[in-house]
Structure 1
Amino acid sequence: MTYQKETIIAKANELKEALQATEAVTFYRAAEEKINTNQKVAAKVGSIKKLQKEAVNLEHYQKFGAVKQTEDNIDALTAEIDHLPIVQEFKRSQEEANDLLQSITREISHKVTSELKK
């Protein structure tokens, strides 16, 4: 069976739409939206960005002790973010969506390879 490029692209778009309608992707998008609008997460991310800039400046002036302390503060804030329930929910949904995409990718790869060997 021979397919035209346009047909393959149309099928890919159908697959994309089907994926977007799956529970895993829908849940991921909802979790992502919650993360993006969460003030607590935004404040901590803002603090991390500020500390990262500070670390770059301190490193430039070779204040390595202060750089280490700043990096420790960044790590602590990152850990705080990672332990927030909303972030854990997001990560879980991200893993589920990634697992779905990987399984589909493997299946497509397997089928294409099988067809090419014929």
Structure 2
Amino acid sequence: MRSLLVLSLVVVAAACLAAPRGAHGAGECGRTPADEMALKLAPCASAGQDPNSAPSSGCCTAVRTIGKQSPKCLCAVMLSDTAKSAGIKPEAAISIPKRCNLVDRPVGYKCGAYTLP
């Protein structure tokens, strides 16, 4: 009986080790989850709340860096739970690339219910 229990545990452990580990690395921002990547947008706190404010140079640098990964990543970060919990308004956040005068921004990119200007 004891050997059957040990064998069962070994089989379960082997199955757990062989099972896929989810979609790690398959997110919009690669291996880094969008909520974690959103922490890099801390300099954009005020610009993400007021669509008429001028973003800081630190904010523009962060947006440029995240946007270089992909428009999907930038969109996911701006609409992430982390951004929302920091008080970021999606309608203000999506205008930050334009307010930073980023020439290579994804104009017209559909970001959730919003379109990047």
Shared fold (TM-score greater than 0.5)? no
Instruction: Compare relative contact order (CA 8 Å, sep 6+) and give the higher one, 1 or 2.
Output: 1
Which of structures 1 and 2 has the bigger CA Rg? 1
TM-score normalised by structure 2 residue count? 0.30
Q: Which has the larger helix fraction?
A: 1
